Amino acid sequence: MLSEGGSFIKGMLIGGIFCLVLSLLSSFSPVTESRTEEHHHHHVKAASKDELQQLSDSRLQELNNQLQVYCVIMVQPKNLLYWATALDTWTKHCDKAAFYTSESSKALEAINLKEKDDWVRLRKALKHAYENAGDIRWFFVAEPSTFAIIENLKYLVLTKDPEQPFYLGKAMKSGELEYVEFNSGIVLSYEALRRLVNVFPDEGKCPETGRALWKLSNDKQLAECLKFTGVFAENGEDVHGKDLFNSKGVESLIKESMKQNPNNVVEGCCSDMAITFSDMSPNQMQVMMFGVYRLRPYGHDFHDLLTFYPPKGSDND
């Protein structure tokens, strides 16, 4: 008995070490493989100024007019302050902003999905957005704790064809799965959303209850479903390779930059054309609104090749 127990324990130890060694050895090759993959397929940048200048004026105007964004904002009454702030600030710059809630709120109006499960709610919201898209070909999915600059989103996708599947944002990798992080906003082209909505009924590929033993987060589940339709996550970056979708707030990012680039804090920090920030308080979001759309130094012009006018019905932009 004792010798058997001893053998068992010896076996366990050796088994554990064997597994560790095996994974250490195998971990070197996948990393180099995926790095070369990343270079070619997983980054989406905005068109450069040169590329845009090659387009004719009429083509530019056509693109400017056609480019519309449908914002899908997933709200809940428990996040009322964020909901109200999103309503009052950045969502006014969406061509269509639809708020989807878990239950109705007396204070604010939204499309009531009457659904407690957040994954099912997200599916319902995306389906509803797809069915009510009209002529709109780009979709931006966010929570109200995200702050988005829709004009910069339009700039990013300006020359991208929405009839191609695009699934953009801050791309993360978990094991083998690459997904777009939810809290920094998810961009879907019309084709990507179409494929997604068509795979929803397939319980095998895209179940409502989730596939793993433990419940995967919504952004990972979304990535799994999209993977089955041949749509893969891509990281949104500016011309210098800086992230456009930020999962942190501007204060955190500046603090980090103060530690890492003390002599070049602002330029070492965030992109000038950033699209999203997350994890900011409602008040900080009001300040960002002022900072993005209003506060500026007199006499500096950018000669942008697109023109976006202020929306009706607001005075904080």
Partner 1 sequence: MKVPSTRWAFLLGFLVGMCCMYFSLQQVWFEQNYHVHSEAQETATVAGERPTSWRKEGGALLNLLLPHHPDEDSQVADMLSQRVRILCWVMTGPYNLQSRARHVRATWSRHCDVVLFMSSVEDPSFPTVGLGTKEGRDQLYWKTIQAFHYVYEHHMNQADWFLKADDDTFVVVDNLRWLLSNHTPEEPIYFGKRFKPYTKQGYMSGGAGYVLSKEALRRFVKGFRTKACTHTTPVEDLALGQCLEKMGVLAGDSRDTLHRETFHPFVPEHLLTTKFPKSFWYWSYCFYPIVEGPQCCSDLTVSFHYVEAELMYILEYYTYHLRAYGYVPRYLPSARRRQRLAPPLKAAKILNLKLAKGVKDKANHTASALVRENQAAEEKRAERGTEDNASFNLPINRTASRQGSHH
- Residues 261-280 touching partner 1, rule: CB under 8 A, are 261, 263-270, 272-274
Number of residues counted as binding partner 1 (CB under 8 A): 96
Q: Answer whether 289's CB lies under 8 Å from 282's CB.
A: no
Select 170 or 227, whichever has its Cβ closest to partner 1.
170
- Minimum CB distance to partner 1 smaller for 111 or for 216: 216
The two tokens of residue 301 are 């012009």
Among residues 150, 176, 159, the alpha carbon closest in space to that of 66 is found at 159
| C-beta of 81 vs 203, nearer to partner 1 | 81
Residues between 119 and 158 with contacts to partner 1, criterion CB under 8 A: 149-152, 154-155
Among the residue ranges 137-145, 200-208, 222-230, 249-257, the one whose residues contact partner 1 (CB under 8 A) = 249-257
Contact 42, 233 (CB under 8 A): yes
**Shortest separation between residue 68's beta carbon and partner 1, angstroms:** 14
Residue with smaller CB distance to partner 1, 23 or 209 = 23
Q: Which residue, 83, 87, 150, is CA-closest to 293?
A: 150
- Collect all residues with Cβ–Cβ distance below 8 Å to 216 and sequence separation of at least 6: 210, 224
Query: What distance in Å separates the CA atoms of residue 307 and residue 285, rounded to the nearest whole number?
Result: 24
Site for partner 1 in 89-108 (CB under 8 A): 93
Q: Residue 70: helix, strand or coil by DSSP? A: strand
| Residue 236 backbone dihedrals phi, psi, to 5 degrees | -85, 125
Binding mask 288-317 for partner 1 (x = CB under 8 A): xxxxxxxxxxxxxxxxxxxxxxx----xxx
Site residues for partner 1, window 151-190 (CB under 8 A)?
A: 151-152, 154-155, 170-175, 178
- By CB under 8 A, what part of segment 55-84 binds partner 1? 57, 61
Least distance CB 100 / partner 1 (angstroms): 25
Question: Cα–chain-centroid distance for residue 309?
Answer: 24
Q: In the bound complex, what is the minimum distance in angstroms from residue 213's beta carbon to partner 1?
A: 11
Per the rule left: phi > 0, alpha: psi between -120 and 50, beta: everything else, 134 is: left
Does the footprint of partner 1 cover residue 28 (CB under 8 A)? Answer: no
3-state secondary structure string, 220-288? Answer: HHHHHHHHHCCCCCEEEECCCCCECECCCCHHHHHHHHHHHCCCCCCCCCCCCCCCEEECCCHHHHHHH
Question: Which among 68-76, 103-111, 132-140, 283-291 is the span making contact with partner 1, rule CB under 8 A?
Answer: 283-291
208 to 237, contacts with partner 1 by CB under 8 A?
A: 233, 235, 237
Give the range of 18-26, 110-118, 133-141, 193-201 binding partner 1 by CB under 8 A.
18-26
